[in-house]
Amino acid sequence: MKQLYNDFFGEFGGRYVAEVLRSPLDELESAFVDALSDEAFMREFHRLLASYVGRPTPLLHAENVTRDVGGAQIYIKLEGLAATGAHKINNALGQALLARRMGKPRIIAETGAGQHGVATAAVCAKLGLQCRVYMGEVDMRRQKPNVFWMEMYGAEVVPVTSGARTLKDAVNEAMRDWSANFADTHYLLGSALGPSPFPDMVREFQSVIGTEVVSQLSALGVRPTTLVTCVGGGSNAMGFFSPYIHETEPELIGVEAGGRGPAQGDHAARMNGLGTPGIVQGYRSLFLLDDDGQVMPTHSVSAGLDYPGVGPQLAHLGQTGRVRFERATDSEALEGLQYFARKEGVIFALESAHAGMVAIRRAKELTPDEAVVINMSGRGDKDLFITARELDAERWKEFLTREAASL
């Protein structure tokens, strides 16, 4: 059954927060339910999705890759062609419009890779909202270009120096800010996780991805066999999968970060028995926890997948078997990145490249009258400083040294 606001998905979800955050979350829940049934609000959302975000994003028939792989037809939803380079802006725009409607002039957000931060900063500039982005110090260092762009949009980027100094710590810091300032501030959370109503709300704002895929495929007369996408917290996956989660077809595959391998601390995969049921950052789901319940360190070459918890609805869909989960390693992601660039002329974000590799594996097992659709959640421009260093270290170092010297 399809429902706007669920709170729980099977045993996962909920609103496990300190009392101080109850009134802002209760307020947000009713504002969100109200706005989504308001035609004027939705019209404004879709107007800006078209004119500002650049939707619909194309669905590409990857003919060269299809031929090379020799299995199912492969299609790529080029979500990375949305403004600011990833799907993140769909949710950022929806929530920022909601904040404006709620009369909250100040926006705070967390960011890991910086994609959600950049999308939020851009949307806040467009809508005239004040914006502060919390970002772990470690992430700020590895994603410097995104910090530059956020500041270009007029956002204040605040380094988070607590804990592991990555995404989860940025979430903690944003929750702290919200606790103190909710009267005039909306916390624009970037993935389909956190306390309710965030998982429901983020899915709804991201569902435009799946809705477009349905009509684009039907225009081509294609019935998909398999949908594949990457899973960090689960926002692009929930948006992409949403039209299909209550059906038995097509097959839905979520790809997690296999990192350097399955050893503790080397990956960010929570499904398939690696994660443990827990309650962290306001929601019940599967997390990478030690025996005491402490959150364990994670690793991925892609900052966007490097997070210890998975969104509650995806955890549930994994448990029911509706979504199957697989992993791709750091090196598989880098291989996928190069493969799609050379063969198809498309540069995937490292996050999305995880899905690309698993899609190829799956397509090989299928026949040419079947179809696999990959959601390329982001484009890879943002990863230049990581991929160049991983794939072409010597010449990249030479370049950087020369640049530094010329400053």
Partner 1 sequence: MSNTTRIMAHVIPWYPDRAQSMDAVRGLVDAGVSYLEVQFPFSDPTADGPAIQAACSDALEAGFTVADGFAFLDEIRTITDTPVFLMSYASLIYRPGVQAFVARAREHGVAGLIVPDLPPDYDEGLYDACRDAGIACVPVLVATSADARVDLALSTKPEYVYVALRTGTTGSRTELGALNMGFLEKIGASGTKIFAGFGIQDAGQVQALAPHCEAAVVGSAFVRTIAAASGSGVYEAVKARAESLLDAK
List interacting residues with partner 1 (CB under 8 A). Answer: 14-20, 22-23, 26, 162-163, 168-169, 171-172, 175-176, 179-182, 276-282, 284, 287, 289, 291-295
Tell me the C-alpha distance between 13 and 89, whole Å: 24
Please say if 377 is a catalytic residue: yes
Provide the sign of the torsion angle of the four alpha carbons 252, 286, 189, 19, taken in this order.
Answer: positive
Residue 134 or 182 having the CB closest to ligand PLP:
134
Report in angstroms how near the CB of residue 199 gets to partner 1 at its nearest. 14
Question: Considering CB distances under 5 to 8 angstroms, the limit depending on partner class, which of partner 1, ligand PLP, none binds residue 304?
Answer: ligand PLP
Q: What does the binding site for ligand PLP look like in residue numbers (CB under 6 A)?
A: 86, 88, 112-113, 115-116, 191, 230-237, 304-305, 349, 351-352, 377-378
First to last CA, the chain: 59
Name 26's Cβ contacts closer than 8 Å, sequence gap at least 6: none
Count of Cβ atoms closer than 10 Å to residue 248 Cβ: 7
Please say if 403 is a catalytic residue: no
Report in angstroms how near the CB of residue 112 gets to ligand PLP at its nearest. 6
Report in angstroms how near the CB of residue 312 gets to ligand PLP at its nearest. 13
Please say if 235 is a catalytic residue: no
What phi, psi does 221 have (nearest 5°)? 70, 30
How would you class 218 by CB atoms within 10 Å of its CB: exposed for 0-12, middle for 13-18, buried for 19 or more?
exposed
Residue 15 or 88 having the CB closest to ligand PLP:
88
- Six-digit token pair at 343? 């063969």
Residue 182 or 187 having the CB closest to ligand PLP:
187
Report in angstroms how near the CB of residue 307 gets to partner 1 at its nearest. 12
Helices in 37-114 by DSSP H: which ranges?
Answer: 39-48, 63-69, 88-101
Report in angstroms how near the CB of residue 14 gets to ligand PLP at its nearest. 19
Question: Considering CB distances under 5 to 8 angstroms, the limit depending on partner class, which of ligand PLP, partner 1, none binds residue 243?
Answer: none
Report in angstroms how near the CB of residue 22 gets to ligand PLP at its nearest. 25
Tell me the C-alpha distance between 110 and 92, whole Å: 12
Q: Assess contact for 301 and 259: CB atoms under 8 A.
A: yes
Residue 33 or 42 having the CB closest to partner 1:
33
Residue 112 or 136 having the CB closest to ligand PLP:
112
Question: Considering CB distances under 5 to 8 angstroms, the limit depending on partner class, which of ligand PLP, partner 1, none binds residue 18?
Answer: partner 1
Catalytic residue among 77, 88, 168, 382: 88
Question: Considering CB distances under 5 to 8 angstroms, the limit depending on partner class, which of partner 1, ligand PLP, none binds residue 19?
Answer: partner 1
Tell me the C-alpha distance between 295 and 297, whole Å: 7
Question: Considering CB distances under 5 to 8 angstroms, the limit depending on partner class, which of ligand PLP, partner 1, none binds residue 230?
Answer: ligand PLP
Residue with structure tokens 């729980």? Answer: 8
Q: Assess contact for 57 and 352: CB atoms under 8 A.
A: no
Provide the sign of the torsion angle of the four alpha carbons 263, 264, 270, 272, taken in this order.
Answer: positive
Of 245, 234, 187, which is closest to residue 211 (Cα–Cα)? 245
Residue 165 or 362 having the CB closest to partner 1:
165
Catalytic residue among 29, 79, 110, 370: 110
Of 226, 232, 215, 233, which is closest to residue 323 (Cα–Cα)? 226
Count of CA atoms in the C-beta half-sphere (13 A) of 35: 23
Q: Assess contact for 338 and 391: CB atoms under 8 A.
A: yes
Question: Considering CB distances under 5 to 8 angstroms, the limit depending on partner class, which of partner 1, ligand PLP, none binds residue 281?
Answer: partner 1
Report in angstroms how near the CB of residue 318 gets to ligand PLP at its nearest. 13
Residue 177 or 256 having the CB closest to ligand PLP:
256
Question: Considering CB distances under 5 to 8 angstroms, the limit depending on partner class, which of partner 1, ligand PLP, none binds residue 231?
Answer: ligand PLP
Calculate the alpha carbon distances from 61 to 212, 216, 237, 241, 347 in Å: 15, 11, 20, 19, 15
As annotated, the active-site residues are: 88, 110, 377
